[in-house]
């Protein structure tokens, strides 16, 4: 059964700042509709400008890939503080909003604080049906392994039975990822990770491959899986074959690795014990899709919510599909007050 502190995540916390904006505002910062970029220096004043320009129309949602998944798992678990989250923020205005909103979501946040950079932000500017997104990692990039040295924080690592880390922290503190992964493996616990983005499979291949021997469940989507296969010379673009090959990569213990690859509206592929199974997603009409951003994170959150209750893979995938289907019908990675998952 789920209990307090059973699931721990480490990731890059980003405060989603979302607004219905104007073409004029996009032009001011050289942003394009329907595009996602990393902030350059010219974009850094934009986050405060959004608040000043659009005032109370601005919505704040605590986000970043790992925290999105952890929030969804927390929501579905129904157990207060079932989840714990580590990441780095500043004690600035956006940091306070992040902390309050994440706690309201029931997540036990244990942030590391920095004054070197502002809290990480993710601007989402909607014009008509299009979204322009701009991420400024800022403080999230300042996380260090020292955070684990604090006895109360390491106790939370020890208390957890399941761990989830998106691929993005491999660019920030790979030593933290490995340390948590090694603890999980040595203690017979479950460590889960995500490929998260094609660029990670390409340019952060080394830390990713160093972590994989400790990974019990690996998530990804079809584009990430194809990039991973290409970078590691698998010689195939068949998703089921790729999933099997990843599942069979060397592991530190003798527990089989499970690989879960989502494919948008196509069936989810799960590879384990030398065989693959396909699970259809919940059909949805195009007109009902509001925002696919965060669908992958929601899927992971739903999957983990069942995993921490000891449910089989079929039930985990079913709940993942439920969460993803629900979230794409809303703006941002948000959800109603109570789940109706059955």
Q: Which residues are catalytic?
A: 297
Give the C-alpha separation, 201 to 232, whole Å.
Answer: 9
Nearest Cα neighbor of 234 from 252, 249, 217, 212 is 249
Angle at 52 between CA 51 and CA 55, to 5 degrees: 60
What are the start-end ranges of the E strands in 174-257?
190-194, 217-221
Give the C-alpha separation, 327 to 331, whole Å.
Answer: 8
% helix / strand / coil in the chain, to the nearest 5?
45, 25, 35
φ/ψ of 234, rounded to 5, equals -75, -20
Nearest Cα neighbor of 89 from 64, 68, 52 is 64
Give the C-alpha separation, 167 to 194, whole Å.
Answer: 5
Nearest Cα neighbor of 271 from 233, 310, 211, 225 is 225
Q: Is 45 exposed, middle or buried (0-12, 13-18, 19+ CB in 10 A)?
A: exposed
Give the C-alpha separation, 49 to 55, whole Å.
Answer: 9
Give the C-alpha separation, 114 to 92, whole Å.
Answer: 10
The sign of the dihedral angle between the CA atoms of 204, 209, 213, 217 is positive
Q: Is 244 exposed, middle or buried (0-12, 13-18, 19+ CB in 10 A)?
A: buried
- Map residue 136 onto helix, strand or coil: strand
Alpha helices (runs of H) in 122-204, residue ranges in sequence order = 151-159, 174-186, 198-203
């Amino acid at each position: 059964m789920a209990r307090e502190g059973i699931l721990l995540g480490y990731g890059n916390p980003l405060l989603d700042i979302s607004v219905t904006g104007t073409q004029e505002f996009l032009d001011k910062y050289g942003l394009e509709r329907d595009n996602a970029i990393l902030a350059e220096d010219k974009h850094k004043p934009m986050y405060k400008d959004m608040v000043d320009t659009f005032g109370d129309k601005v919505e704040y949602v605590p986000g970043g890939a790992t925290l999105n998944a952890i929030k969804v798992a927390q929501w579905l678990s129904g157990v207060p503080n079932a989840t714990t989250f580590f990441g780095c923020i500043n004690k600035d205005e956006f940091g306070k909003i992040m902390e309050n909103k994440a706690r309201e979501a029931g997540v036990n946040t244990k942030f590391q604080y920095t004054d070197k950079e502002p809290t990480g932000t993710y601007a989402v500017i909607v014009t008509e049906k299009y979204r322009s997104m701009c991420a400024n990692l800022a403080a999230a990039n300042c996380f260090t392994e020292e955070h684990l040295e604090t006895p109360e924080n390491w106790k939370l690592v020890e208390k957890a039975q399941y761990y989830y880390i998106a691929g993005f922290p491999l660019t920030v503190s790979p030593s933290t990822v490995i340390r948590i992964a090694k603890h999980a493996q040595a203690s017979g616990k479950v460590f889960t990770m995500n490929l998260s983005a094609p660029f990670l499979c390409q340019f952060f291949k080394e830390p990713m491959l160093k972590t994989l021997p400790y990974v019990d469940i690996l998530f990804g989507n079809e584009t990430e899986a194809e990039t991973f296969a290409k970078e590691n010379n698998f010689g195939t673009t068949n998703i089921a074959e790729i999933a099997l090959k990843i599942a069979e990569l060397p592991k530190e213990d003798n527990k089989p690795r499970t690989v879960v690859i989502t494919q948008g509206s196509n069936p989810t592929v799960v590879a384990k014990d030398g065989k693959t199974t396909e699970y259809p997603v919940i059909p949805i009409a195009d007109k009902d899709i509001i925002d696919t951003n965060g669908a992958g994170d929601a899927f992971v959150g739903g999957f983990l919510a069942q995993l921490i209750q000891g449910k089989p893979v079929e039930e985990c995938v079913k709940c993942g599909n439920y969460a993803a289907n629900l979230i794409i019908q809303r703006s941002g990675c948000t959800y109603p007050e109570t789940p109706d998952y059955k």
